[in-house]
Amino acid sequence: MASIIDVAKKAGVGIATVSRVINNSGYVKKETRDKIEKVIEEIGYVPNEIARSMTLQKNNIVAFILPNTTHLFFGELLYFVEEELFKSGYKMMLCNSSERLEKEIAYIDLLKKNRVDAIILLTNNDVEPYLDKTLPILSFDRKFDDLPFVASDNYHGGVLAARHLIKKQCKNIVFIGDDAQGVNTKVQTEVSKRRLGFLDELKRHQITNVLNIEYPLGNYIYIPEYVTEIIDAHPEIDGIFCISDSVAAVVIRHLEKIGKRVPEDVKVIGFDGGRSFNNLGKRITSIGQSPKLIAEAISQVIHNYYDKKTVSSVIVPIYFQEGDTA
């Protein structure tokens, strides 16, 4: 296998000159550069990427730790983040934590030791004590001390959902979300603001007959039980805002199963962007967040870090997505 020494000998230059060409660092005359590149091609020399990364202090790998790769919005987000990073010369490493703290800690430790260029972190767990904040770490939908984050404008999304249900003259309203976004939990994510914006806007309109329902984190399987219990106990409910479209889809199915018409009897709004659920036969009315815009913001924060520019958090605009359920 050809080495950098072989390239230097055949090109009649020093090893340091070859290194400058390979790493694109330092001045090399055009004629010399062309000669070295021609020799590299002729003898089939492949640079040692590990050695290069040690020299450059950069290996062009960004890791994304997230709770769940099957979640519809997370899947779209992964696609656009990978696209944006690839355009900038980065490869993405995926770490699926399954929402388990011990897996997130293990991944964080592994990534620190293996010198990834940046970590994108999406978590509901209390991982802050395990973060090395000398590393470029960027969180999504979560605010940590001294770290930049990217999030959609969740609070305004909650406001828009409340305004729509008010406009539709709903009087008996429910919020359904998991306890990771609850106002009484230790961990506060940016997603918590969906609930807060929603409840604040209802209060501003003096609507106080509101149920605030929390189900165990990630246990979507139990949502049907909650919906049935809630509707049985409160048949007057006519408006529901759900923490996500995935939750809204389960809610809609079970409302219809127990004889409630959506949107005629109960209006339902989700959050993510009204993505289609084939077995619903209708498009969910939703607060939309753009995975492409979020991915662009994440990529820009990472660029700013390595370009020595100011690294700031970014709030991405949301929009109201018309649908068939509210």
pLDDT given for residue 177 in this prediction? 82
pTM, 2 dp: 0.77
Report residue 145 as tokens. Answer: 């001390």
Q: Cα 319 to chain center, whole Å? A: 17
Q: Which residue has the higher pLDDT, 227 or 83?
A: 83
Distance separating alpha carbons of residues 187 and 180, to the nearest angstrom: 7
pLDDT given for residue 170 in this prediction? 94
Q: Which residues pair with 214 in a beta bridge?
A: 177
Average pLDDT, rounded, for the chain:
84
Residue 57, classed as helix, strand or coil, is coil
pLDDT given for residue 25 in this prediction? 65
136 prior amide bond cis, ω within 30: no
pLDDT in tens, 277-298: 656 788 999 999 999 999 999 9
pLDDT, average across residues 167-187: 72
pLDDT in tens, 228-269: 788 788 888 999 999 889 889 888 988 888 889 999 999 999
Neighbours of 313 (CB within 10 A): 15
Residue 218, pLDDT > 60, answer no
Q: Which residue has the higher pLDDT, 81 or 246?
A: 81
- Is 269 in contact with 248 (CB distance < 8 Å)? yes
Q: Which residue has the higher pLDDT, 13 or 189?
A: 13
Residue 189, pLDDT > 70, answer yes
pLDDT given for residue 145 in this prediction? 85
Q: Which residues pair with 176 in a beta bridge?
A: 213, 242
Categorize the per-residue pLDDT at 43 as very low, low, confident or very high, splitting at 50, 70 and 90.
confident
Categorize the per-residue pLDDT at 222 as very low, low, confident or very high, splitting at 50, 70 and 90.
low
pLDDT given for residue 275 in this prediction? 63
Report residue 286 as tokens. Answer: 């939703």
pLDDT in tens, 89-135: 889 999 999 888 899 999 988 887 777 889 999 988 888 888 877 77
pLDDT given for residue 68 in this prediction? 83
Categorize the per-residue pLDDT at 180 as very low, low, confident or very high, splitting at 50, 70 and 90.
low
Non-local (6+) Cβ contacts of 42 within 8 A are 10
Domains of the chain: 4-56 (1.10.260.40), 61-151+291-314 (3.40.50.2300), 154-290 (3.40.50.2300)
